[in-house]
Copies of this chain bind each other. A is one copy, B any other.
Amino acid sequence: MGTLNELFDPDRVAVVGATAREGAVGRAVTSNLLADFDGETVPVNPNYDEVLGTPCVDAVDEAEADVAVIVVPPSIVLDAIEACGEAGVRNVVVITAGFGETGEDGADRERRLAELADEYELNLVGPNSLGIMSTPSGMNATFGPENALPGGLSFMSQSGAFVTAVLDWANDNGVGFKDVVSLGNKAVLDETDFVDHWGDDEDTDVIIGYLEGIEDGREFIETARETAAETPIVAVKSGRTSAGARAASSHTGTLAGSEKAYEAGLDQAGVIRAESVDELFDAAGILGSQPLPETDSVAIVTNAGGPGVMATDAVGDAGLELASFTGETTAALRESMPEEANVHNPVDVIGDADVDRFREALETVIADDNVGAALVLAAPTATLEFDELGEAVRETVADTDAPVAACLMGGDRTREPKRKLQAAGIPCYFDPARGIESLATLAEYRDIREREYADPMSFDVDRERAREVLATVRDREDNRLGVEAMELLDAYGIATPAGEIVDSPERASEVAAEIDGDVVMKIVSPDILHKSDIGGVAVGVADADVADTYEDLITRARNYQPDATILGVQVQEMVDLEDGVETIVGMNRDPQFGPLVMFGLGGIFVEVMEDTAFRVAPVSEPEAREMTEEIQSAPLLRGARGRDPVDLDAVIETIGRLSQLVTDFPAILELDINPLVALPDADGDANAAAVDVRLTVDPEELDLEGPDADPERPHTEEPHQ
């Protein structure tokens, strides 16, 4: 796949299937192109000499086009694509529907389409797309009713109807676009390609998206991170709820990953997530026009006490804070404002304020170094002209580096000043909460820009040994492994209590003798899931009782299930749970994002309180640390209620080692270390011990990979200790 510059900025566009027939998609596309496109539009149709007054060629190889838009019936789309490939057209937009979204035949056709695109190295949009637009050249290669206004937003949408709706609204509200893409079925080009392209596009100020799924989560994260460091990305990811995901799947045939994975993945990618159309365009609007705030502190200047309180609430809700003014600011306000005014934040210039008093107050607070952003909030009064206020705000904003939003609380009289403010890049709303939320979006994006992404944690591990442990699944009837796979953790440097799986009472005693203190003994059998329930676990066994306990456990297991496969008995060092905190480190594999790592506190915290943190693996050290900090129960790790804090670094390292393991072996579908006992810091000891493990392995994936499947992966010597 080449660059997408030509796709959005072609000299000549061919419409394969152009027609003048009323109501036909081929007419709408041709007509839209002929209307505004600066370049040449070339209708392609062997049945006509001209279409809508423009000469028509018989075949695409006569068109000398940079982009071909395909609107022929589904049965001949593949032929048309092949013709494009043969003719050297490298950019193809397939508007025709009837592919993956329509069942088996369509899915087959879509696979062949993708193969053709691959063979001819085509940048292919669609199929089942509304088309594409690019405003600098006026190119409207869609069959929609409206062309976009020029502007700095580049917009991709997995729903064509959403494009139509948004353009209809945007054109009437003066919101303009650089490029627009209806992604369709994303058989070839997907969200990652466009994020990548627009990230390098100087005319794109903000990338916005409506997505129902992401094709390759890991690739998207890496591309979006790089792009978001320069260009904000705001997206609605719909299908968030389980009902929504089912609806999305029936709509586009997208196989939905879990919402947890999208939540983690989009956050790791630096994408600002919107949950409604209003949020999407509020965010895009202010990101495209206002500078980023240096701090989270907001000043509010209002002529209305009540709305000032509402705005103050919104500051807290949005995770911002009310700025504390310096003494000079307060003194200056006291000097210039009437006595009844409130010179502290929120500044109340009171009901009889005219525009000069508003301007004075705004200029004063914006000059304060403690103020990161400002909201101007005005209710209608006899002494205030909204038009004049809008002008004063525009002038003040022109002289400042701090972002400013406005709320003009009124009806029709606010329309014109609002339009002018927005044209000057200053967002303007009725609702105080919405003004504050838009300022919060700027702060959110500032934090994204300031992120420093570290490399994934990487340790010196024994891959071959891990591979051997995983391969034992081939001897199983199902694809699950349990405590007998503890060696897998050991191979990846995750501390486990001393112990061994033994198959005789004598060996059990030998192992126990080597372990300090009493031991825990457990039956090991893939067929017995709830070991405790059948008395298959013995805790605090003294060395002298180990041999008898061995026989006892085996007998119980046999009695319980005569045909159970019994792999032996695990003899394990007792971990002192009293001093430790039980945690869980887990992983499952998401269809889009791949391995998703989970951390939480053991037992009730994960199961009942659902207090968990997720990240797409491989995770970096700062990401693993965030996981241990963002759970609500984190204070328990830090030593709440008079206990010693646990050795957090040991927990973080375990998360990193697990992340490396599940990234190295795509065959691992699910894995839980439960519990991972986190102990207080004690020099020299392994302060995070994995007491038990369960995993599910796909043996077929195991065949596909060698221990060094990814030779580019860096291997360092224990960087984090």
Q: B-contacting residues of A (Cβ < 8 Å)?
A: 23, 28, 102, 145, 157-162, 164-166, 168-173, 210, 212, 236, 238-244, 246-248, 250-252, 275-278, 303-310, 312-317, 321-322, 340, 342, 344, 346, 348, 351, 379-382, 409-414, 430-434, 603-604, 607-611, 632-633, 635-636, 640-641
Contact = CB atoms under 8 A, between A and B. Distances in A.
Number of identical monomers bound together in the oligomeric complex: 2
Contact of A316 (B166, B242, B340): B242
Nearest to A240: B313
A162 B433 contact: no
Nearest to A603: B641
B306 A238 contact: yes
16 contacts: A23-B382, A165-B380, A165-B409, A165-B430, A168-B380, A169-B411, A172-B412, A173-B411, A241-B312, A244-B309, A244-B316, A251-B342, A275-B317, A603-B641, A604-B641, A609-B633
A251 B322 contact: no
Q: Which 5 A-B pairs have the closest CB atoms?
A: A159-B306, A172-B411, A161-B304, A241-B316, A165-B409
A305 B210 CA distance: 12
A330 to B, nearest CB: 14
A609 B611 contact: yes
B322 A243 contact: yes
A466 to B, nearest CB: 32
B309 A238 contact: yes
A603 B632 CA distance: 14
A251 B433 contact: no
A310 to B, nearest CB: 5
Contact of A307 (B162, B173, B344): B162
Contacts of A165: 304, 307, 379-380, 409-410, 430
A243 B608 contact: no
Contacts of A252: 305
A324 to B, nearest CB: 11
Contacts of A410: 165, 168-169
A92 B239 CA distance: 56
Contacts of A314: 276
Contacts of A348: 251
Contacts of A603: 641
A239 B306 CA distance: 9
A409 B168 contact: yes
A643 to B, nearest CB: 11
A239 to B, nearest CB: 5
Given A212-B306, A247-B312, A277-B432, 11 more contacts: A159-B305, A161-B379, A164-B379, A165-B409, A170-B411, A241-B317, A243-B321, A250-B344, A276-B431, A604-B640, A608-B636
Contacts of A344: 250
A236 B310 contact: yes
Contacts of A411: 168-173
A633 B611 contact: no
Contacts of A157: 306
B313 A244 contact: yes
Contacts of A632: 608-610
Contacts of A240: 313, 316-317
Contacts of A250: 342, 344
Contacts of A313: 238-241, 243-244, 275
Given A241-B312, A241-B315, A243-B322, A305 B161 contact: yes
Contacts of A278: 430-431, 434
A708 to B, nearest CB: 42
Contacts of A159: 304-307, 309
A379 B162 contact: yes
A276 B430 CA distance: 10
Nearest to A317: B241
A483 to B, nearest CB: 20
Give the most central of A172, A239, A307, A411: most B CB within 10 Å. Answer: A411
A106 to B, nearest CB: 11
B161 A248 contact: no
A515 B166 CA distance: 76
Nearest to A638: B608
